[in-house]
Structure 1
Amino acid sequence: MTIVAAADGSALGNPGPAGWAWYVDENTWAAGGWPRATNNQGELMAVIDLLDSTAHLDDDLRILCDSQYVINAVTKWMPGWKRKGWRKADGKPVLNRELLERLDRATMGRRYTFEWVKGHAGHELNEAADVRARAVATAYQNGSPIPIGPGWPGRGDETRRAEYGDLTAPVVPAGPAASVAPAAVELDLFGEDDVLDAPDDREQVMLLERELLSPAVRADSSRVAAILHPDFEEIGSSGRIWSRDAIVNELAGEDTESADIEVLGCEVLAQDAVLLTARTSDTRGSALRSSLWLRVDGRWRLRFHQGTPEA
C-alpha cells in the first residue's frame, strides 16, 4: 500500500507567524507552527511530522510537495552537506540545520518518494494542506487557538497536544480571498542553494511581482524590504527616483487597493537576471510596469522598477 499525502508550509511575513500541515484526507491531517519562522522552515517541518506520524506503518509514502527547496535538500544536497559538516560549497553553514538533521533522521529506513506539485494551482491535496498551514499562521497572528488537526488515526499525539492543546476543529477557508491564487504573503522563496531552469525562474519572478501588488504585503515593511534589492531604485510616474528605504517607508503609510496584473513579457536576460513587463489596473486606471529582477544569494530581488500611467 502507498500512502499519498501533501505537505506544505506558510509564513505571514517570511519570517513571521508560520504554520505547517500535512494532509491525507478530512480525517487524517495534522498542523502546527510557531509565532515566528520562515516559509522554508514550515515546509521542512510539514514533511518531518508526516514522516514521524507514519513511522509505525510499513507502507510506501508518496509526498506531494510544492517546495523545490525541500525536495532538493533531501534528494540532491543533503549528502554533500553532511560530508562537509553541514556546510555549503562556499563554506557557509547550511540554513535550517536542526530541521534538516531531523528530516535526515526521519527518512532513514523509510520507503518514500517526492512528487513536486505546483502550488496554488488547484491540486486538491496541496490546497488542503496549504489552507491548514495558513490557518495556523493566521491563528498565531491573531492570537486565536491553533487548529492542529486529528493527526494519524489510532496514533497517540501526546507531544503535539501538550504543545497546542486538544484543538481538532475543522479548518475552513476564511471567505473567497482564501482561494485566490497565489496567496502572496505565503509565497515559497527557494533556498539559497536552488539553481532553477529558466521557466521556473520566470514563474518565480511573476509570482513575486504579483506579491508586491498585494495590499497585505505592501503594508508589511519587513516583507517589502526582503523582496527589494539593497540597491533598489524606482522611477515613479512623476519622474522621482525612489530608493528602497524611501519606497518601504512610503508604502507603510499608504492605503493601497488590490490591482489586477497582466504579464506582457518575462525575459531571461542572463542566468541571474529577468526582465518583466506588465500592465496593472485598479480604480485609478492602468499603468505599464517594467521590472528588473536579479538573483542574489539564491533569491530573487527587485533591482529596478519603472511604472508609466497609460493614457
Structure 2
Amino acid sequence: MTIVAAADGSALGNPGPAGWAWYVDETCWRAGGWPHGTNNMGELMAVLDLFHSTAHLPEEPLHILCDSQYVINCITKWMPGWKRKGWRKADGKPVLNVDLLKDIDAAIVGRKYTFEWVKGHAGHDLNEAADDRARDAATAYQAKRAPIHGPGFAGAGPGRAPMNPAAAAGPATGATRAPEPADIPEQPDLFSMFDDGPDPAFPPGPDASLRAVVELERELLDPAVRADPLRAGELLHPDFEEIGASGQRWSRQEVLGMFCEAEAADASLEVLTLNRLDAATALLTYRSVDRRGTALRSSIWQRENGRWQVRFHQGTLEA
C-alpha cells in the first residue's frame, strides 16, 4: 500500500528559528527543527526524516506531497549531476545543503517513491497539516522551548534529528552536518517560508529585514531557477512586467520565454537598499555583477496570500 505523506519546512527570518514536519494523519506525523536554519533546510529535512521513519517498510512506495520545487528538483533532477561533479553545480560552486542532500541520496537507495508538487497555503489538507507543525516547531525554537515531535511512524526505530546547522555550516558552502540523534533536536519551492505568523521578511532589526526578500531575488538570478519554468513562474507575479535598459517593456510571459531560451549568466547581488513601501510591498535596489559587467537594478516585491512575488523589475547597465 502506498504511503501518502506531506512534507514541509518553515523558517522565521530565513535564516532563523526553523522547523520541519511530515504528516500522514493525526496518528502518524513527526516534527522537529533548529534554533537557526533556513526554509530549504527544513523542507529537505522533512523529506529525509520521512524516508528514515519509513525505512522499516522498504517495499511500501512513498508518495510525497511537497510545495517546494527546490526540494523536488534537487532529488529528482539535479542530484545525479551534482554527484558526478563532486557535489558541485555546473558553475563549479559547491552545492548548498550538501550534507542533507547526501543523506537523502543514501536514504532513497532501493526505495520506491514519487513526488507531487502541491501549492502551499492553498487549503490542501495534508500540506496545511505539515505546514502547521513545521511552523509550530520553528515558533517553539524562537521561544526557546522544545517542540512537539509527534507520534512518529508506527514501528519505526529511534528518530534522528540534526544538529544546529549554523554551528556546522561551512562559510563558503552553507553545508550542514549530517543529522544525528539528540534528546532535543535543534533547512535557487520557495515561498513556503512565509507563514501566517509575524512577517519574516521584516522582523525587528536592520540586518534581518533584508534577508527574505534578498534571498528570493537571488533565487530569481540563479540560472537553474530560470531554466525551470514552473519555479520561475512561482516567483513572478501574474501582473509582472519589466522595463529594460533600452526602454522596452516585457510581460511576464515574454520574460519566462526568454528565461527558457537564453543561457543565463551567473550573477552576484550587492544590496543597496530595501524599503518597505506598505504592509505587503517591498522595494529592493541592488547592483548585479556578471561576466557582462555591472547593472543597477530595482525590484518591487508584493506579498499576496502569504507569498512574495516580484511585481516589477527594471535594470540599467552601470557606466
Q: Normalised by the shorter chain, which TM-score bucket?
A: 0.5 to 0.7
In 2, are the aligned partners of 1:62 and 1:113 still within 8 Å (CA)? yes
Measure, in 2, the Cα distance between the counterparts of 1:107 and 1:116.
Answer: 18
User: Max radius of gyration: which structure?
Assistant: 1
TM value normalised by structure 2: 0.60
RMSD (Å), alpha carbons: 3.9
Question: What are the ranges of 5 or more consecutive residues in structure 2 without an aligned counterpart?
Answer: 162-180, 186-193, 202-211, 241-268, 283-296, 305-309
- Partner of residue 21, structure 2: 21
Measure, in 1, the Cα distance between the counterparts of 2:122 and 2:199.
Answer: 11
Question: What are the ranges of 5 or more consecutive residues in structure 1 without an aligned counterpart?
Answer: 166-176, 210-228, 232-242, 262-272, 281-288, 295-302, 304-311
Measure, in 2, the Cα distance between the counterparts of 1:278 and 1:259.
Answer: 6
* Aligned-pair CA distance for 1:147: 1.0
Amino acid at match of 2:97: N
Alignment of 1:1-311 (within 5 A): 1-57=1-57, 58-157=59-158, 159=160, 162-164=182-184, 192=222, 193-195=224-226, 200-206=231-237, 230-231=270-271, 243-244=272-273, 247=274, 258=279, 291-292=312-313
Amino acid at match of 1:112: Y
Measure, in 1, the Cα distance between the counterparts of 2:143 and 2:43.
Answer: 21
TM value normalised by structure 1: 0.62
Measure, in 2, the Cα distance between the counterparts of 1:290 and 1:102.
Answer: 37
Measure, in 1, the Cα distance between the counterparts of 2:68 and 2:302.
Answer: 26
* Aligned-pair CA distance for 1:142: 0.8
In 2, are the aligned partners of 1:151 and 1:157 still within 8 Å (CA)? no
* Aligned-pair CA distance for 1:205: 3.9
Q: Deviations for 1:210-265, whole angstroms, at most 9, x for unmatched residues?
A: xxxxxxxxxxxxxxxxxxx635xxxxxxxxxxx51xx56xx6xxxx984599xxxx
* Aligned-pair CA distance for 1:194: 2.4
In 1, are the aligned partners of 2:53 and 2:157 still within 8 Å (CA)? no
Amino acid at match of 2:134: A
Which stretches of structure 1, 4 residues or longer, exceed 6 Å deviation after superposition?
A: 273-280
| Identity, % of aligned positions | 56
Measure, in 2, the Cα distance between the counterparts of 1:156 and 1:114.
Answer: 24
In 2, are the aligned partners of 1:6 and 1:64 still within 8 Å (CA)? yes
| Counterpart secondary structure, 1:90 | coil
| Counterpart secondary structure, 1:152 | coil
